[in-house]
Structure 1
């Protein structure tokens, strides 16, 4: 069965049918709602309906979006398990003069999904890439958190294993901005406990089910949030955690420690340099040793 790209497709908004023009040849990165389907933009609907090809993570998820806006068309699966095969075919389609729309299951493509590979391939092939902005869970959470938003760092998901998670949090402790992370509901209590151990003085916001019926934002110091979630019988839904940045004094302290470490490493091995830096700065030797190894390239 052919997908009649040469014929105009329609979509329906608020009960009214609108025609979707055929976009120019390009790879379009189309943001879709993170929960509430009403957050889709008119431009996104035009591209989704009008593009020659529609690539998505899960055809079942995208199918619900198409059904909501009365869009009838075929979809091409593009996800981490078939990216090697599906990616080149999509790039070839654009190079041959077609328009390709890429959507993720929710939010903006490339934010914590495999779409970046496709964009890399597009640039290498000289194919035009066009972002169609819209919903983004990290930005929505940051806006709702009440935490500083002039500088922030999106860190995706933390490692699942306890040791690796603690090490990653220690690395993130030096970031001079609000941290934004994703977490699964069955791991949120353990992750908050780990965060509280590294950042006991920092405020945070746990944003759950953003834009959906049971949207909730929990705010407080990390130890308070960790205790609260540990007491919950069950946690459900999509979760984004925002953590306040370190105090200016802490950032300056870390910078001074790095300067001292760099000087000591010129004459000492990492373990000895960390021990001496700990004596001079009062910071934890374990953290300084890890930093020394990073400086030496392990």
Structure 2
């Protein structure tokens, strides 16, 4: 998508496959999870704002096999979001992050279309990128979300929990006492209102979180764990807590070393 002297560029929200960080032996072709229109749009872009430049280059290599890139990988303009957006997120409006976002969008004012990408899934959903979208709207750019996998929605659909009223609450505390307190708060809200509570954890802490959930939650609360979504070893389990505990090994068959989404409700 070359620069146009007659118009501002468009910001495209480009989803990527959910196999970031897994062995390429287990990675599917992007065309399995991204429609042709999304791959075609990604192949035409030459300017990117991204969570991680390395992962975006790896994604573009995979796109290039299916749809030749408009510019060689070395000629792609790939700019990373500020590091603070990785650590603390950029979802809350804040003067400095919004100013930085506007600066990153300057090529669009010259007519270049820009792709926004995260390491896996849809940017700005459980990932940084919201500041870029806010800034694009503020300066009058067209914003186009492209179609692709979103782990939170796949997990919600597969959980059997309330899909009409739900909330994504991000990460729960790492400290055991604070984590248990937070889990009880989320459970109380879910049981009172019927609102499904959705949260995630860093893969190497998934096992500890699941064990904490089974120790903390009421026996009749429904708990769903969705691991490795869209990958060959994906596993989804949804059951009342007392049924989780009734099994000989609640962790059996769950690839908890992979990205996982946790959901609780009634």
TM tier relative to shorter chain: 0.7 to 0.9
The alignment status of 1:102 with 2:116, answered yes or no, reads: yes
Q: What's 1:242 paired with?
A: 263
The CA deviation at 1:131 is 1.4
Pick the aligned partner of 1:49 from 33, 43, 47. 43
Distance 1:86 1:51 in 2: 21
1:63-212 to structure 2, matched below 5 A, reads 63-70=57-64, 71=69, 72-73=72-73, 74-81=76-83, 87-172=101-186, 173-175=188-190, 176-196=194-214, 197-212=216-231
Unpaired segments of 5 or more residues in structure 1?
7-22, 246-298
The answer to whether the 8 Å contact 1:78/1:86 transfers is no
Unpaired segments of 5 or more residues in structure 2?
20-27, 86-96
Q: Tell me: CA distance 1:115–1:29, structure 2 relative to 1, closer, same or farther (3 Å).
A: same
Distance 1:189 1:41 in 2: 34
Q: What's 1:12 paired with?
A: none
The answer to whether the 8 Å contact 2:51/2:128 transfers is no
Q: What's 1:263 paired with?
A: none
The CA deviation at 1:109 is 0.7
The alignment status of 1:58 with 2:52, answered yes or no, reads: yes
The CA deviation at 1:224 is 4.8
Which digits, 9 at most, give the CA deviation of each residue in 1:156-178, with x for residues without a partner? 22121223322322332314222
The CA deviation at 1:54 is 2.0
Distance 1:179 1:145 in 2: 11
The alignment status of 1:32 with 2:47, answered yes or no, reads: no
Distance 1:157 1:112 in 2: 10
Distance 2:82 2:121 in 1: 17
Q: Tell me: CA distance 1:181–1:123, structure 2 relative to 1, closer, same or farther (3 Å).
A: same
Structure 2 residue matching 1:207: 3-state secondary structure: strand
Structure with the greater alpha carbon radius of gyration: 1
The answer to whether the 8 Å contact 1:30/1:101 transfers is yes
The answer to whether the 8 Å contact 1:177/1:244 transfers is yes
Distance 2:122 2:54 in 1: 18
Distance 1:32 1:225 in 2: 33
The CA deviation at 1:81 is 0.6
Distance 1:63 1:40 in 2: 17
- Scaled by the length of structure 2, the TM-score of the pair is 0.73
The alignment status of 1:214 with 2:233, answered yes or no, reads: yes
Distance 2:250 2:79 in 1: 36
